[in-house]
Copies of this chain bind each other. A is one copy, B any other.
Amino acid sequence: MLTVNSFGIIGGDKRQLCCARAIADDGYGVYLAGFEECPAGCELADIGKAAELSDALILPMPVSRSPGLLFAPFSAQELPLSVLREYIAPDKPVFCGINGAATDAELEGLRIMRYSSRDEYAAANAVPTAEGAIEIAMREYEGTLNGAECLVAGYGNIGRVLSSMLRGLGASVTVAARKYKDRALISAAGMKDADIYDLSGHYDLIFNTVPAMIFDARTLAHCAASAIVIDLASMPGGTDDSAARRMNIPVIHALSLPGKAAPRSAGRIIKNAVYNIIREEEL
């Protein structure tokens, strides 16, 4: 059905390797640039060859982590972003994540399509994020999650998946949200709901998923005195770190969990989002 029959995967970490393998397993040709080792079914190439031989390209998530350079931690040599426009034809689809340290100018002229801005990409990544958060909680907390008092702040994709997993482990789960609708759905899911602007109580573990200052000094004092805080919101997170330090409350900022906790799943999620774009755009 797709007329895209081969993919060039340029740069990225373990996720992109897993993505490459998953695409190759579906029977497509896969050229890998920016890696020194190569999964079965794929072929190592330099950027030029990968760009030439492939019907579409996949750049990493994020595209860059240091100014001017492609994010390519497994590459023996640095890959300047500038080579992309040199080698990639302007009509070739280039699937990529967020820019990170790359500028729009550096990607200008490429036919960019963002897998990272798709709804199903965010929803699917809630799973490895939630599991990563649970793994951290299991490692850091001296009790069991089963029976622990857990507070999840936020009921978006991550809050929803995480709270349901915690309940599945037998934790006592409260979810804090702002909207009345979410609070009704939290209660329908068999959990306690709370007003995110009026938190109190005693919690063993607090998971924040909201990118806003939810856990300020006052709130920490009201609900976190003997808690561990695991903050999943993108920096600067939703916790007043210096207040937490004063109160001796441990705060763990956990970011980019999908790639770390479950690169295989994270790679498949990229693959699925890319396939969905191809289907929708009839590439």
Contacts and interface: CB of A to CB of B under 8 A. Distances in A.
A81 interface: no
Contacts of A161: 146, 185, 188-189
Nearest to A120: B180
The prevalent SS among residues of A at the interface is helix
A254 to B, nearest CB: 13
Interface string A266-280: 001000100010000
A143 interface: yes
A245 interface: no
A271 to B, nearest CB: 13
Copies of this protein in the complex: 4
Interface residues on A, range: 35 or more
A59 interface: no
Interface stretch (A45-53, A82-90, A131-139): A131-139
A190 interface: yes
A184 B138 contact: no
Would you list the 5 A-B pairs with minimal beta carbon distance, nearest first?
A: A168-B168, A170-B190, A120-B180, A119-B181, A123-B184
